[in-house]
Amino acid sequence: MQPDAFQADYVWRRFALTFLAVFFAAIGIVLLLIIIVDPYDSGRFPGLGIRGASEEFQRPGNVGLARAPQFDAAIFGNSHGQLLSPARLSVATGLSFVQLTIPGANVREQLAMMRWFRRHHATIGAVVLAVEERWCVSDPALPLRTSFPFWLYSDSNIAYLANVLSTRSIRDGFRRVMFALGRQPPTDAAGYSNYEVGKVWNFKPDLAVPRPGGQAVDDTPDAPEPYFPALERLDELLADFPRSTPIVIVVPPQFVTRIPERGSGLERARNACKAAMARRVSGRARSGMIDFLVESPITRNPENFMDEEHYRTNVAMIVEQKIAAVLSGDRASSEAGR
């Protein structure tokens, strides 16, 4: 090789090595800053110790709320449980509730949230799980409807580090620093978000629309029993909770047009699912299944709902009263919705 060619080759190799060194050093510094700032309050590594959230981004924001030591009870679910107030439940029960529902969340996301809460609390005063029809599907894959950062709720720090290096984490880390400096307003300390705020009630349902039904009930002796894989996953999780932990499963109300026709195949499947839910908490002290998803004065009144699926605050307060009654030992409240 000619001296000039050798010199040029040396210069390019030195440039490439320098570039790679600077690149990986920059990546390392950014990752270190993300770890120190801890954008989602994961508590996985020593950091600045910033607590609380600066905005409503519930999927990652619940990471810190679910591990906060001041809470010993939690509400799980999706938007069907969002309006249940942790503050009102805390007053009614003497426990310290946190709201960990995630709008749009399917079963697997809710289970991940419950598992994360369990991991960070040696003693749990109560668990409230607001369920709906997604818990009664027969697909064992339990497919997602929206994206969810499972890595944030993973037991693996390696999975966390492999995913946390992103532009979103940098953005959220900046917001977290601004929150610590008082430049970003905090959200509710217990995770509560009222979806009625800023909206005007205007629910005018069409009662002439046929209600969901499906094939008529099959009462033959060899009719197959419905299969609920979500409840099997719930069994695995509940096995990790002490038997003394009160568990309240709530089936929140929806407007009557969402309730299956009587005698239909869908009603049979829903009732079987509800019965299976009730068996999950049977025998636990101060536990029960509260069923509001039935025809009743609550579900027939449009003024109780923002839309077909989401009830209003006046109904949420009724549901909370029944939850508090079950947690006080009143098992009769499990028949509240009927």
Between 4-13, 228-237, 296-305, the lowest mean confidence (pLDDT) is in 4-13
pLDDT at 219 over 60: no
pLDDT at 313 over 90: yes
pLDDT at 284 over 60: yes
Note down the domain range covering 273. 62-152+190-335
pLDDT at 235 over 70: yes
Q: What is the rounded radius of gyration, in angstroms, for the C-alpha atoms of the chain? A: 25
Q: Could you read off the pLDDT of 97-147 as tens digits, one per residue?
A: 999 999 999 999 999 999 999 999 999 999 999 999 999 998 999 988 888
pLDDT at 48 over 70: no
CATH value at residue 321: 3.40.50.1110
Helix axes 86-93, 313-327, angle to 10 degrees: 30
Domain annotation covers residue 54: no
Average confidence (pLDDT) over 254-261? 93
Domain annotation covers residue 213: yes
Domain annotation covers residue 205: yes
Domain annotation covers residue 68: yes
The token pair that represents 6 in the structure block: 């050798």
Domain annotation covers residue 183: no
Domain annotation covers residue 159: no
- Considering only the C-alpha atoms of the chain, give the largest distance between any 2 of them, rounded to a whole number of Å: 94
pLDDT grade, residue 18 (50/70/90)?
Answer: confident
pLDDT at 13 over 60: yes
> What pLDDT does residue 46 have?
73
Domain annotation covers residue 3: no
Structurally, the chain folds into a number of domains equal to 1
Mean pLDDT score of the chain, rounded to an integer?
85
Domain annotation covers residue 46: no
| Highest mean pLDDT of the ranges 55-64, 138-147, 326-335 | 138-147
pLDDT at 271 over 90: yes
pLDDT grade, residue 281 (50/70/90)?
Answer: very high
> What pLDDT does residue 321 have?
97
CB 137 within 8 A of CB 257: no
Closest CA to 231 of 251, 256, 253, 252: 251
> What pLDDT does residue 187 have?
73
Q: What percent of the chain has pLDDT over 70?
A: 83
**What's the full length of the chain, in residues?**
338
> What pLDDT does residue 217 have?
47
